[in-house]
Chain A
Amino acid sequence: MQIDSKTGISSRIIKDRFFKALVVSLSFFVTIPFFFILFYIFKNGIASISWEFIVNLPKPVGETGGGIANAIAGTVLLIALSCATAVPLGVAAGVFLSEYKNSKLAEWLILCVAVLQGIPSIVIGIIAYTWIVIPMRHFSGLAGAIALGIMMLPVIIKSTEETLKLIPDTLKEASLALGVPYHKTILMVILPAGLSGIVTGILLSIARIAGETAPLLFTAFGSQFMSLNVLKPINALPLLIFNYANSPYSEWHSLAWGASFVLITLVLVLNLTARLVTKKWKVQF
């Protein structure tokens, strides 16, 4: 390290102060878009929120008072379906990673998870389209749920593995020493001990997919009607926002603002709950 000895101490101190001020102000500058986004979503969103907004279906252009009931129901259904496929698979793969961490397969699995996490969501949409929409010959909620499920997997696997890694070996050894079979040790001792971390991971993965639009564009596709048949196209909040934001009608824009408000509330609540779960339920070792 070289310190320029010609410059005096006072100019070095000024430089130091200036740098700190720069770092602090640039950091605070980033909070501006955050508040800017929240402010506009809340301001425009609350104006269109009402009970009718939650329970009604979208109305044709020109009529006021339409709602987004089908999109809310569709989003809930898609989340439930993708959880049903991704959670068991993801948790099992996470347990595998922590139990057989030195095996060759585990190395490959870690690599696959890293790549899977980076795949752009639109590419996942293409995959679900090729695998499910083409054989079925029409768009379906099922295809959307599969696409979202694939997106959930890496988050669940990683959080499960990292949680289980923190659980001390003595716990497992104590259980095995008492004669508890291996699978029961994992299912009844290790997994419950790491439950908070796993639940956090699942909540975060739901928060990640709840707002995903790209994988749904050509899978779930969207619909104007209340449709809960997963083999048919169904609507979702992000799809509704995308379709209505691009429309020229101001009634639809206000529906989209309201839907954004509902979606962002859902995502923020999921994020906060995930954080609370980590704080409250964490088992200390």
Chain B
Amino acid sequence: MCKLRSETVFNKVLYFSAITIVVLLVSIFLTLILGSLPSIKAFGIYFLFGKTWDPVFSKFGAFPFLFGTLLTSFLALAISIPFSTSISIFLGEYFKEGSLSSVIKNMVELLAGIPSIIYGFWGLFILVPIVRFIEIKLDVPPYGVGIFTAALILAIMIIPYSASLGREVIALVPSDIKEAAYSLGATRYEVIRKVMLPYARSGIFAGIFLSLGRAIGETMAVTVVIGNTNFFPKSIFDPSNTMASIIANEFTEATGELYLSSLIEIGLLLFVVTAIINIIGRYITKRIGVKI
């Protein structure tokens, strides 16, 4: 009898913990919605398109931050894609094993492990002077901090994510179709370009997509180097703010219900966007049979 009871208790504990996780996520979502209700009521859809963010007059439009987030993330993506795809091909095709591949592989994994505040701190003291130097050469205002600097740091940070998934899908390309292409006289480049990459396309895309999710939500590294101004950026060298960095900067000093609620609504937007990206990314990777 006692044995039976401890079995049911054990099963209940398992179910309870699974339900707790589901409830946790649902309550995170509900908390964000509840917190942003005052701002949703006050501004409605104009919250997304309003260009002024003025805490003094309680006028909040998040468009500059949406734009800043999209600009930094896509710029970072554009910078990172050649490198992450190269690493995927390097590890998935040219050097599948051996010391050279393990050097690159370990390095990329450790790169993913470096805390984002350290990226930011390093960027502020090392990368910002370099960017300032480039800006002087290009004859643009030499802020040093700004969208371009943030995108550079983000690009370094997201390379490991898309590279590791890309490597797995490239390694999964069946060797018989590669051999078929070789037997037709194709060079290795032609095999990679016309057989492997088309075959692995959706997996590589999923990796890039998931790293976009990372870039959108990344906070600390961006907050330190983006320059934190609430104006609409005119060029990619201007200082700006992203959705995550505006929360990090102003949340503790937000006075008044509407101010706080507007910041929480930005958090809600971040949550929804990253959730959609992750669900789609998971769907793609599940379909092609790769674990993430």
Interface residues, chain A, with chain B CB atoms under 8 Å away: 1-3, 12-13, 15-16, 19-20, 22-24, 26-31, 33-34, 36-37, 40-41, 88-89, 92-93, 95-97, 99-100, 105-106, 108-109, 111-123, 125-127, 129-131, 150, 153, 157, 162, 181-183, 186-187, 207-208, 210-214, 217-218, 221, 238, 241-242, 245-246, 253, 256, 260, 263-264, 267-268, 271
B277 at the interface (CB under 8 A from A): yes
Q: A127 vs B247: C-alpha distance in the bound complex, in angstroms?
A: 12
Cβ contacts A to B, 24 pairs, < 8 Å:
A3-B186, A30-B159, A88-B17, A89-B17, A92-B13, A93-B20, A96-B14, A96-B18, A115-B278, A116-B21, A118-B277, A122-B248, A123-B217, A123-B267, A162-B291, A183-B10, A211-B114, A211-B116, A211-B118, A218-B251, A241-B121, A242-B121, A264-B118, A271-B109
* Contact present for A93 and B31 (CB under 8 Å): no
Which of chain B's residues has its CB closest to A113's CB?
Answer: B21
Contact partner of B251 (CB less than 8 A), chosen from A126, A131, A181, A260, is A126
> What count of chain B residues pass the 8 Å CB interface test?
88
* Contact present for B181 and A112 (CB under 8 Å): no
B288 at the interface (CB under 8 A from A): no
- Report chain B residues within 8 Å CB of A211: 114-118
* Contact present for A210 and B218 (CB under 8 Å): no
Q: A183 vs B189: C-alpha distance in the bound complex, in angstroms?
A: 55
Which candidate, B43-51, B54-62, B84-92, B231-239, is the interface stretch facing chain A?
B84-92
A-B CB proximity, top 6 nearest = A211-B115, A120-B217, A183-B10, A118-B278, A92-B17, A26-B86
- Report chain B residues within 8 Å CB of A106: 18
Contacts A26-B83, A40-B122, A126-B35: A212 and B14 contacting too (C-beta < 8 A)?
Answer: no
Our count of residue pairs bridging A and B at CB distance below 8 angstroms stands at 254
Q: A157 vs B18: C-alpha distance in the bound complex, in angstroms?
A: 10
B252 at the interface (CB under 8 A from A): yes
Q: A162 vs B291: C-alpha distance in the bound complex, in angstroms?
A: 10
Which of chain B's residues has its CB closest to A129's CB?
Answer: B251
Q: 15 other contacts beyond A22-B86, A111-B282, A120-B216, with CB at 8 A cut-off?
A: A1-B186, A1-B190, A1-B194, A3-B190, A20-B188, A28-B104, A34-B107, A105-B15, A112-B22, A115-B25, A119-B275, A126-B263, A126-B264, A181-B3, A213-B116
* Contact present for A26 and B82 (CB under 8 Å): yes
Contact partner of A213 (CB less than 8 A), chosen from B15, B17, B115, is B115
Q: A122 vs B249: C-alpha distance in the bound complex, in angstroms?
A: 11
Interface residues, chain B, with chain A CB atoms under 8 Å away: 3, 6-7, 9-11, 13-22, 24-25, 28, 31-32, 35, 82-83, 86-87, 89-91, 94, 104, 107-111, 113-122, 124-126, 156, 159, 181, 184-190, 192-195, 210, 213, 216-220, 224, 244, 247-248, 251-252, 263-264, 267, 270-271, 274-275, 277-279, 282, 291
- Report chain B residues within 8 Å CB of A89: 17, 20-21
Q: Which of B118, B213, B219 has the most CB of A within 10 A?
A: B118
Closest-CB distance, A175 to chain B (whole angstroms)? 14
Closest-CB distance, B9 to chain A (whole angstroms)? 8
* Contact present for B213 and A126 (CB under 8 Å): no
Q: A122 vs B38: C-alpha distance in the bound complex, in angstroms?
A: 21
Contacts A96-B17, A181-B6, A245-B120: A30 and B87 contacting too (C-beta < 8 A)?
Answer: yes
The binding surface of chain B is classed by DSSP as helix
Q: A15 vs B270: C-alpha distance in the bound complex, in angstroms?
A: 43
- Report chain A residues within 8 Å CB of B192: 19
* Contact present for B282 and A150 (CB under 8 Å): no
- Report chain B residues within 8 Å CB of A210: 115
- Report chain B residues within 8 Å CB of A271: 109-110, 113
Contact partner of B122 (CB less than 8 A), chosen from A41, A109, A183, is A41
Q: A214 vs B224: C-alpha distance in the bound complex, in angstroms?
A: 12
- Report chain A residues within 8 Å CB of B271: 119-120, 123
